[in-house]
Amino acid sequence: MKNKLNRGRENKTYISLLLVAGLAFGVFFTSKTWMYDDSAIAQTSFNESINGLSQTTLTLRDWEYNPKNKLMEVTLERNHTGTDAVEPTFSFYAKEQHASQKYHAELVYQSDNNMVVQIEDVPESFQVIGLFVTEHRDQNILKQEYKKQLESKDGETTVTDQDIQESDLPEPEQVIIVGDYRKIDTNQSLVTKTDKGYKKESIMADMEHTKQEINTIIEEDIPFQEDLITTLKEEKKSLEQDMAFETKEEQADTKREIEQKDKAIEEAKSEIEKLKKTVKELQDKYQNREEELNALTQNNDANKQQEHDKVDADHATNDQQAANKNKQDKRNNSSTKSSNDKKKTDKKNDD
């Protein structure tokens, strides 16, 4: 009896422990979805220049994560702002905050000014992750710079490439782009795309960014300058009215102030013209990108049509071959039947 009671108590203890472990497991892996996180957001700003590389200015455009296949995708804009004649190359890896394990990061697409980097095997439990971007400058350029430094330091000293060791050259520069789970978009359908797919996305993103720039200028920047002109004109008019009651010395000061208002008005008008010119350039850029997108879409449609035509042609060829085979089979059957009938007739005649 005591053994049964002891076994019952042990079973209840095991069940309780399992329930507690299961609850802890559930809390740990779902806490991001329901628990409030008041820690500081450690996210690199989107759509702002990232400094730290000597030849390149980067801009973070997009960051997505698919928890189903543990895949991250980071879209960067790249502008060559240095003086090197040869643009640098880049390498990547990723790492979670306060962790030593590195995640494989691969450049899956690049165009003239865009890079798409994918980070693999990122667990859903991640909080803050850093993408390490290393800029590798051309070795020949670095050697030329090193030789110039030695020659300017030591006078007429001649240095050849063979005299320069890799350790003599500067280390590649690196920046860390940080992603916080609260700012990274969840995309359940995120997968690796084709080059055409990434190019299409890049064009569409560029069009959206250009459209936002146009709207900002039209809705904010130009109205601000127009309001400034209105305010300056009102202040100028008030000063002119006050001059009737001023001494000559005061009038001289007021005239100088009015001249400053006139100058500020002209500067505001000039700024509006520059902004309108910028809008026209951006509109032309938007139209060009739209035409490029349409051409890419039409090419895709044409390729799909060619594939359909090929399939239809293959089907037609197979159908024709089948029809010819049926005809040949019928001819063979007819020939065999005629031969058999002739044999039966000859046999009757012999009888």
**d(C-alpha 177, C-alpha 97), whole Å:** 12
DSSP bridge pairs for 177: 131
pLDDT band at 94 (very low <50, low <70, confident <90, very high): very high
With bands split at pLDDT 50, 70 and 90, how would you rate the model's confidence at 25? very low
- Phi, psi dihedral angles at 318 (to 5 degrees): -60, -40
Q: Higher-confidence residue: 27 or 38?
A: 38
The answer, yes or no, to whether residue 317 has pLDDT greater than 60, is no
Instruction: Give yes or no for residue 103 having a pLDDT over 80.
Output: yes
**270 phi and psi angles, rounded to 5 deg:** -65, -40
Note the pLDDT of residue 28: 46
Q: How far is CA 304 from CA 111, 117, 298, in A?
A: 24, 28, 10
What is the per-residue pLDDT across 104-123, written as a single tens digit (0 to 9) for each?
999 999 988 899 999 999 99
Q: How confident is the model at residue 308 (pLDDT cuts 50, 70, 90)?
A: very low
Pick the residue with more confidence: 282 or 308? 282
Higher pLDDT, 345 or 133: 133
- Calculate mean pLDDT across residues 57-62: 96
- Tell me which of 182-186, 188-192, 312-316 is least confident: 312-316
Please check the confidence at residue 289 and state whether its pLDDT lies above 80. yes
Output 168-173 pairs: Cβ under 8 A, ≥24 positions apart.
169/139, 169/142, 169/143, 170/142, 172/134, 172/135, 172/136, 172/137, 173/52, 173/53, 173/54, 173/134, 173/135
pLDDT at residue number 144: 86
Q: What is the structure's pLDDT at 239?
A: 95
Neighbours of 221 (CB within 10 A): 17
222-242 and 248-350 helices, crossing angle to 10° = 160
| Fold entry, domain 49-137+172-191 | Immunoglobulin-like (2.60.40)
Average pLDDT over residues 23-33: 49
- Quick one: pLDDT at residue 149? 80
What does DSSP say about strands 89-96 and 102-110: parallel, antiparallel, or unpaired? antiparallel
Tell me the per-residue pLDDT of 134-169, one tens digit each, with 9 for 90 and over: 999 999 899 888 888 877 766 656 667 666 777 778
Distance CA 132, CA 77 (A): 15
d(CA 48, CA 175) in angstroms, rounded, equals: 14
For Cα atoms 93, 104, 202, give the angle at the middle one, nearest 5 degrees.
Answer: 75
Residue ranges in 155-221 assigned as alpha helix (H): 195-216
Higher pLDDT, 10 or 51: 51
Mean pLDDT, residues 253-265 taken together: 96
